[in-house]
Amino acid sequence: MTYVRPKFRHPELQKNKLGYTVDYYEGALSTLCAGCGHDSISAGIIQAAYEMNIEPHKLAKLSGIGCSSKTPAYFLSNSHGFNSVHGRMPSVATGANLANRDLTYFGVSGDGDTASIGMGQFVHVIRRSLNMTYIVMNNGCYGLTKGQDSATADQGSKNKGGNVNLFESIDLASLAIELGATFVAQSFSGDKAQLVPLIKAAMNHPGFAFINVISPCVTFNNNVGSTKSYDYVREHIGATATVDFVPEMQEISIEYGKGTHKNVTMHDGSVIQLHKLAEDWNPLDRQSAMNAVINAKAKNEILTGLLYVNPDAHDLHDIIKTSDRPLNTLTKEELCPGSEMLNEINADLR
Amino acid sequence: MKATDIKNPEYFHKVVDCQHACPAHTPVPEYIRLIAEEKYTEAYMINWDSNVFPGVLGRTCDRPCEPACRRGRIDGKGEEPVAICRLKRVAADNKGDVKGLMPKGPFRPNGKKVALIGAGPASLTVARDLAPLGYEIHLYDEQKLGGGFMRSQIPSFRLPETVLNEEVGYILDLGIHTHFNHYVESLKETLGKDYDAVFVGSGAPKGRDLDIPGRKDGAANIHIGINWLANVAFEHTAKVGKKVIVLGGGNTAMDCCRTARRLGGDEVKVFVRSPFAEMKASPWEKEDAAHEDIPIIDNHVPKSFVVEGGVLKGMTFEKVTAEYDKDGKRKLVPVSGPDIFIEANDVLIAVGQENSFPWIERDLGIEFDKWDMPTVNETTFVSTNPKVFFGGDSAWGPKNVITAVAHGHQAAISIDLMCNGKDLALRLSPYVNLVSQKMGIHEWAYDSEVVSDKRYVVPQADKKLTLTNRKKEVELGFNALAGFKEAERCLNCDIQTVFTTDKCIECDACVDICPTACISFTENADESDLRSMLKMPAKNLTQDLYVSDTLPTKRVMVKDENVCLHCGLCAERCPTSAWDMQKFFYNVTKAHTGCASHK
């Protein structure tokens, strides 16, 4: 019995600006079921981190519990990691981010971890606008406990045992827009051309960035009648726009036809290039984004791509005016400014 | 691109780079796996069936398989090919009883008689393939023993006589009628006897001479390399002068200089016209010469032999430099300065060898071209006389043992077809098999793990011993453990990645897991476009693209065969077994396995 990844990589792999080839961003060999959508998302994250020239030690990956939350073991082995309690990833991410704002925070969660046990945590982390990327690997079922319907399973969707789901599903993307997330996107594990630029743009976003990724569970939810199977998603997928993320200082060379092309310039000069496919949709307008999601749903369509973005987002540190440096870099003098300063503060409070 | 037709055995055959590059198409990965399993006898027999002289070739083969070996391409950081040739020797060194597995006479005579002229590898192969079919084989050679140039030209410190005798013996024991010490002086006379066919495997026996001033006067100490080596092999020559010059840059020159070191040559120097890097000798043979303190001096063109008082004193050389025109054509341009004199007691000329057919009359219907070479059909090896066949060096000039063996197999098939009154163009299809290796989750019938070990070095005997005893073999060969470890380096390229379009759900699992980024799902296009559209551009044009039928998303699966590690992870991670690892066995059909007379 052998299940070992060879050490050899393609001899012509290119190095990124930091001098790393893409394999430097890999993780351990996945133990998820063969064909799991989550593995594709992991591959997308590896690709995005490589293309974004992320220094692995400047990134922290966090997760809760579930199939999805196992995946941080399978990417970015050289980064920090925290596998937290079920549904409690946002709390840990909040604590970590407040202590050290210099890292890129990358949270991975599943539909159970987010839409059921962690729902309270999820909505509050959005409300607080924590600067992080939050990816839900959404397969509509509890794969780790043999495929029971989750809270994101669509009403009427049939599971592997042939039972039809009777309950309304929670639409995480609409919820995130509703709660004020400043970057909301939806994607499909089987479409890396779309997923990778979205992850890159999300990582670069200065506030809370949410990506809901439909990720079929091959073992328990890839049957006929399921609305989260590879076949169903491919037949019903629609997109707001094709998307490309162009980091700062790069010349934009692609020309699109008039009227359909939109560039969103971000806070740091980077650009999200959109080639619009959906009509009457403005990615900078929350209401328009909501409408687009609702319209698509009415047409039985799964709307993917960037849904909403606010380039002028402010994160939790801005809102509560914290230290602009990580706490571990503060010196004793800064932390204990002396009795004179204490007296001044006390005087202010009198 | 059109979907790849994997039903054509040549597609997967090409993926097995080593086997494809081998003139005899020996199933290399199959026998390497058997070596790893300590099944040396079985490994030997796979070789014996295919290349007839595993023990000889495991020491002396030109190894076209090794430059082709995929392992040499997979990291771009100097990863070396598997030591295929020396693994063959491991099988030969450790085998058990093989005689019982070989065809055993007496065979029921089929009433046909075949004469083989020259007892080298080509003729011996024909003999082995035809004898079990009941042919009466008559083997002629001017020497006292069989083996041809394997005996006369390859020194015993590279190939011990015992090994050669054993493998020649296996063939002669099939009931071959030998006519040794018998130089065939006339083909007409041979044809006049009642042979149904004559096979000419007389090699390229004429060493090229060097007609420069002093050649005649110094003749006593100037020798043609191959003749000199033969005289040493048959013990007519036992000594050489202290200072020896060897002229030439091929493997014969290497054998000459190393033999001279053992016969008393203390200062042996090799002089080559061309730059060192362009020498014809195999890199390992150059290394072995260097190891024996033999300098190889390149860019020196011999000008004259210096003879004083009837005694050879040395040679003069002109120093040159290689210049290349825009087509890459080389020109040797003299460097200004006086000619260089090098002292020598003996000179060995190893500047090439030629075919020579003084014994073939030109009125036998055998056509000769302007270079005095016979016209031979490249597939059937028949000459313009339908009863006369050529093979080995005598067909198209000097090559090597493994090529001669490959010729012998094909000529034997032709002879069998001809003797049965069948069309020679009706060549036999190869024996092909393709079987799934899946045994369960994470379980394959082959050892799929790719080890990272560097190529193991074959140990050599102490130089003090080898340089004083001409017959002491230099290479000791891998021991069983080193053989196992080296065998584990083989990537199992014959375990093919077989893709079934209907089963694929396009989940991308194979794309994500493939360590060398071989697999892409993309829109279809012409080959040249497709090659640039893949996850990693497929720049090695000698390696094929494996293209599937159109998938439900209108895309195709494209696999670049170039650096596939055959690790099986694509099949491991495929939820629907659209990918499967299947063992491809391809064996060239020989006269004795798929003979015309049996059908």
Q: Where are the domains of chain A?
A: 22-320
Taking CA–CA distances from B553, the nearest residue in chain A reads: A234
Tokens coding A143:
């794969």
CA distance B518 to A7: 15
Q: Which residues contact B192 (CB under 8 A, 6 or more apart)?
A: none
Tokens coding A200:
């890159």
Tokens coding B555:
């895309």
* B553 near A CB under 8 A: yes
Torsional class of B293: left (φ above 0), alpha (ψ -120 to 50), beta (otherwise): left
Residue B517: C-alpha distances to residues A166, B226, B398, B559 (Å): 43, 50, 42, 9
- Alpha helices per DSSP H over B131-218: 149-152, 161-172, 187-192
Nearest CB to B515: which of A5, A12, A219? A5
The DSSP element (H or E) to which A332 belongs, if any, is helix A332-335
Give the residue, B408 or A279, on which the prediction is more confident.
B408
Query: CA A190, A196, A201: angle at the middle one, nearest 5?
Result: 140
Task: Answer for the pair A240, A283: CB distance below 8 angstroms, yes or no.
Answer: yes
* B565 near A CB under 8 A: yes
Tokens coding B411:
């000529």
* Partners of residue A30 in chain B, C-beta under 8 Å: 513, 573
pLDDT at A281: 84
pLDDT at A249: 52
* A95 near B CB under 8 A: no
- B573:A7 CB<8 A: no
In this prediction, residue A255 has a pLDDT band, given cuts at 50, 70 and 90, of: very low
* A43 near B CB under 8 A: yes
Highest mean pLDDT among A43-52, A245-254, B330-339: A43-52
Q: How many CB atoms lie within 10 A of CB A184?
A: 31
First to last CA, chain B: 40
CA distance B541 to B543: 5
In this prediction, residue A209 has a pLDDT band, given cuts at 50, 70 and 90, of: very high
Tell me which DSSP letter residue B480 carries.
H
Nearest CB to B507: which of A2, A9, A218? A218
Q: How many CB atoms lie within 10 A of CB B532?
A: 10
| Phi, psi at A194, each rounded to 5° | -90, -40
| Candidate CATH numbers 3.40.50.620, 1.10.10.60, 3.40.50.970, 3.30.1310.10; the one for domain A22-320 | 3.40.50.970
* A160 near B CB under 8 A: no
- B572:A39 CB<8 A: no
Instruction: Kindly give the pairing relationship between strand B197-200 and strand B388-390.
Output: parallel
Edge-first strand listing for the sheet containing B556-560: B519-522, B556-560, B545-547
CA distance A159 to A223: 7
* Partners of residue B552 in chain A, C-beta under 8 Å: 231, 234
Look at residue A45 and give its three-state secondary structure. helix
- B572:A1 CB<8 A: no
- pTM comes to 0.91
For B296-340, the DSSP string reads EE-SEEEEEEEEETTEEEEEEEEEEEEEE-TT--EEEEEPSSPPE
Q: What single letter denotes the amino acid at residue A17?
A: K
Residue A94: C-alpha distances to residues A123, A315, A317, B358 (Å): 13, 11, 10, 94
Tokens coding A191:
């479409």
pLDDT at B426: 86
The DSSP element (H or E) to which B246 belongs, if any, is strand B243-247
A contact test, residue of B70, B454, B507 with most A CBs within 10 A:
B507
Query: CA B12, B13, B16: angle at the middle one, nearest 5?
Result: 95
Tens-digit pLDDT profile for chain B (599 aa)? 999 999 999 999 999 999 999 999 999 999 999 999 999 999 999 999 999 999 999 999 999 999 999 999 998 889 999 999 999 999 999 999 999 999 998 999 999 999 999 999 999 999 999 999 999 999 999 999 999 999 999 999 999 999 999 999 999 999 999 999 999 999 999 999 999 999 999 998 899 999 999 999 999 999 999 999 999 999 999 999 999 999 999 999 999 999 999 999 999 999 999 999 999 999 999 999 999 999 999 999 999 999 999 899 999 999 999 999 998 898 999 998 899 999 999 999 999 998 989 999 999 999 999 989 999 999 999 999 999 999 999 999 999 999 999 999 999 999 999 999 999 998 889 999 999 999 988 899 999 999 999 999 999 999 999 999 999 999 999 999 999 999 999 999 999 999 999 999 999 999 999 999 999 999 999 999 999 999 999 999 999 999 999 999 999 999 999 999 999 999 999 999 999 999 999 999 999 776 554 44
The DSSP element (H or E) to which B290 belongs, if any, is helix B283-291
- Alpha helices per DSSP H over A138-263: 172-178, 192-204, 230-236
Q: How many CB atoms lie within 10 A of CB B112?
A: 21
* A39 near B CB under 8 A: yes
User: 3-state secondary structure string, B204-230?
Assistant: CCEECCCCCCCCCCCHHHEEEHHHHHH
Taking CA–CA distances from A44, the nearest residue in chain B reads: B512
* Partners of residue B511 in chain A, C-beta under 8 Å: 43
Nearest CB to B442: which of A3, A13, A43? A3
CA B182 to chain centre: 29
Taking CA–CA distances from B505, the nearest residue in chain A reads: A230
Domains of chain B plus CATH, in order, are 18-101+447-488 (1.10.1060), 113-205+355-427 (3.50.50.60), 207-352 (3.50.50.60)
Selection from B26, B74, B76 nearest residue B489 by Cα:
B74
Chain A, chain B: beta-carbon pairs less than 8 Å apart? 104
* Partners of residue A36 in chain B, C-beta under 8 Å: 507, 509
Nearest CB to B512: which of A4, A12, A43? A43
- B511:A43 CB<8 A: yes
* Partners of residue B567 in chain A, C-beta under 8 Å: 5-6
Nearest CB to A1: which of B73, B442, B508? B442
Instruction: For residue B41, give how far its alpha carbon lies from the nearest alpha carbon of chain A (Å).
Output: 26
Instruction: For residue B512, give how far its alpha carbon lies from the nearest alpha carbon of chain A (Å).
Output: 6
* A252 near B CB under 8 A: no
Nearest CB to A190: which of B73, B79, B506? B506
Task: Answer for the pair A212, A136: CB distance below 8 angstroms, yes or no.
Answer: yes
pLDDT at B441: 85
Task: Answer for the pair A75, A135: CB distance below 8 angstroms, yes or no.
Answer: no
Tokens coding A86:
């079920």
Q: How many CB atoms lie within 10 A of CB B585?
A: 18
Task: Answer for the pair A1, B446: CB distance below 8 angstroms, yes or no.
Answer: no
A contact test, residue of B451, B505, B565 with most A CBs within 10 A:
B505
* Partners of residue A37 in chain B, C-beta under 8 Å: 507
Q: Is pLDDT of A29 > 50?
A: yes
Task: Answer for the pair A309, A267: CB distance below 8 angstroms, yes or no.
Answer: no
Task: For chain A, positions 189-228, list CB contacts with chain B under 8 A.
Answer: 189-190, 192, 216, 218-219, 222
Tokens coding B8:
């054509």
The dihedral built from the CA positions of residue B33, B36, B38 and B41, taken in this order, carries a sign that is positive
Nearest CB to A2: which of B73, B449, B552? B449
Query: CA B47, B51, B52: angle at the middle one, nearest 5?
Result: 90
Edge-first strand listing for the sheet containing B136-140: B177-179, B136-140, B113-117, B197-200, B388-390
* B517 near A CB under 8 A: yes
Tokens coding B92:
């030969």
CA distance A14 to A124: 41
* B563 near A CB under 8 A: yes
Sequence-ordered strand ranges (E) for chain A: 59-63, 80-83, 104-110, 132-138, 141-142, 148-149, 183-188, 208-214, 237-239, 241-246, 261-265, 271-276, 302-309
Burial classification of residue B462, based on how many CB atoms lie within 10 Å of its CB (0-12 exposed, 13-18 middle, 19 or more buried): exposed
Taking CA–CA distances from A42, the nearest residue in chain B reads: B512
Edge-first strand listing for the sheet containing A80-83: A80-83, A59-63, A104-110, A132-138, A208-214, A183-188, A302-309, A237-239
* Partners of residue B539 in chain A, C-beta under 8 Å: 12
Query: CA A251, A253, A258: angle at the middle one, nearest 5?
Result: 125
CA distance B356 to A239: 77
* Partners of residue A219 in chain B, C-beta under 8 Å: 575
* B509 near A CB under 8 A: yes
Taking CA–CA distances from A189, the nearest residue in chain B reads: B507
Task: Answer for the pair B52, B124: CB distance below 8 angstroms, yes or no.
Answer: yes
Residue B119: C-alpha distances to residues B79, B146, B382 (Å): 39, 5, 19
CA distance B287 to B395: 31
- Alpha carbons within 13 angstroms on the beta-carbon side of residue B86 total 23
Q: What single letter denotes the amino acid at residue B70?
A: R
* B126 near A CB under 8 A: no
Tokens coding A152:
């994101």
Q: Which residues contact B137 (CB under 8 A, 6 or more apart)?
A: B113, B114, B116, B126, B127, B130, B131, B175, B176, B177
Selection from B32, B407, B33, B488 nearest residue B200 by Cα:
B407
CA distance B89 to B483: 9
Tokens coding A134:
């939050």
* B504 near A CB under 8 A: no
* B453 near A CB under 8 A: no
